[in-house]
Chains A and B, each alone.
Chain A
Amino acid sequence: MNEFEWLRQTRALREPVSPRRDLWPAIDAALDASSEASPDVPARRTGQHIQRWLLAASFAGMSLFAGSLAVHLRDRPLETAATPTTTQDIERWRPSDPRLAGAAVELDAASMELRQAMEEAPDSPALQRLLYRTQKQQSQLRQMEHQAG
Chain B
Amino acid sequence: MPPAPAAEPVDTDDVRAAAAGDRQAFHRLYHLHVDRVYGAVYRLAGFDHARAEDLTQDAFVRAWQKLSGFRHESSFSTWIYRLAVNVALMDIRARSADPVSMMDEDSLPDHGETPFCAAEREELERAIGRLPPRARAVLVLHDIEGWKHEDIGTELGMAVGSSKAQLHRARGLLRKVLGEQ
Contact = CB atoms under 8 A, between A and B. Distances in A.
Interface of A: 1, 6-7, 9-21, 23-24, 26-28, 30-31, 34
Nearest to A30: B61
Interface string B19-35: 00001000100110011
Interface in B51-85: 52-53, 56-57, 60-61, 64-65
Contacts of A18: 34-35, 38
Interface residues of B, number: 34
Given A1-B180, A21-B53, A14 B27 contact: no
A16 B39 contact: yes
B38 A17 contact: yes
A13 B125 contact: yes
A72 B115 CA distance: 90
Given A18-B38, A19-B53, A34 B144 contact: no
Contacts of A1: 114, 175, 180
Contact of B61 (A7, A9, A31): A31
B60 A14 contact: no
A21 B56 CA distance: 12
B35 A17 contact: yes
A10 B144 CA distance: 5
Contacts of B35: 16-19
A59 to B, nearest CB: 37
| Residue among B60, B121, B146 having the largest count of chain A Cβ atoms under 10 Å | B60
Given A1-B180, A10-B143, A24-B30, A17 B60 contact: no
B61 A27 contact: yes
A17 B42 contact: yes
Given A7-B143, A16-B39, 16 more contacts: A9-B124, A10-B124, A10-B139, A12-B116, A12-B121, A13-B121, A14-B144, A15-B39, A17-B38, A19-B34, A19-B35, A19-B38, A21-B53, A23-B38, A28-B23, A31-B61
B64 A31 contact: yes
A34 B65 contact: yes
Given A13-B121, A13-B144, A16-B36, A27 B43 contact: no
Given A13-B144, A30-B61, A23 B27 contact: no
B11 interface: no
Contacts of A10: 124, 139, 143-144
B49 interface: yes
